[in-house]
Amino acid sequence: MPEHVAIIMDGNGRWAKQRGLSRLKGHEEGARSVLAVLKAAKKAGVRFLTLYAFSTENWIRPKEEVDGLMNLLALFIDRHRREFLENKIRLRVIGQIDRLPGGVQKKLAKLIDQSAKDYEYTLIVALSYGSRAEIAAAAKAIARKAATGELDPETITEETVTQHLYLPDVPDPELMIRTSGELRLSNFLLWQLSYAELYVTEVLWPDFREDEFYQALEAFNQRGRRFGGVVTH
């Protein structure tokens, strides 16, 4: 069983368009898939689940859609706060959080703080996130330390970079799932996904529920993990 699963939740807009609905209706249905997959991951014993909810590029979408997404996020937190705490699920967030509306930031901060006190599983939500921006920020932090003499440039290793990313204490994902059939990473966890198994399904995110998640886990279990070596089983 993978310890950490990452998901690019794609297809909300197409799901809505197929049904003659607004894109926001697709996002609302997609929120139900988030709950379903979170429960399935917990039941399967996946300790870390990272969801790509909103990218740095998504800010260029129509203001009405962006505002709707932010309102939906705030509503999701209010409605499911108790579920997080009762089920011992910790919330963590990665990305340029300072770009989010102030009210959303406060709600996120409150649940992040509350859920960190007693947890067994972790949900990581990528909000206003871009992997290149994350890596660039890590490079800047390392450069500053090198400039002040705190860090010897000759000692910089891959682990040094990892330790300056958003969540250095979280293990890299072993499995990355992308819905809606798109075959690209879309600036998502480029450093952390180096050795992840990729699973792409044609299912649109609002239709991706428990059974589809278990199918992805089963596909993962059928693969040999080489890490540059040779499978011995």
Q: Residue 224 has what pLDDT?
A: 73
- Residue 192 within any structural domain of the chain: yes
The domain that holds 37 is classified in CATH as: 3.40.1180.10
Q: Residue 230 has what pLDDT?
A: 52
- Residue 165 within any structural domain of the chain: no
- Residue 47 within any structural domain of the chain: yes
The DSSP code sequence of the chain is: --SEEEEE---HHHHHHHTT--HHHHHHHHHHHHHHHHHHHHHHT--EEEEEEEEGGGGGS-HHHHHHHHHHHHHHHHHHHHHHHHTTEEEEEES-GGGS-HHHHHHHHHHHHHHTSS-SEEEEEEEEE-HHHHHHHHHHHHHHHHHTTSS-GGG--HHHHHTTSS-TTSPPPSEEEE-TT--S-TTSSTTTTTTPEEEE-SS-GGG--HHHHHHHHHHHHTS---TTS----
Please give the chain's pLDDT, 233 residues, in tens: 899 999 999 999 999 999 999 999 999 999 999 999 999 999 999 999 999 999 999 999 999 999 999 999 999 999 999 999 999 999 999 999 999 999 999 999 999 999 999 999 999 999 999 999 999 999 999 999 999 999 999 999 999 999 999 999 999 999 999 999 999 999 999 999 999 999 999 999 999 999 999 999 999 999 876 545 555 44
Active-site positions?
10, 58
Number of domains the chain is built from: 1
- Residue 38 within any structural domain of the chain: yes
- Residue 141 within any structural domain of the chain: no
- Residue 103 within any structural domain of the chain: yes
- Residue 25 within any structural domain of the chain: yes
Domain boundaries, position 17: 4-130+171-221
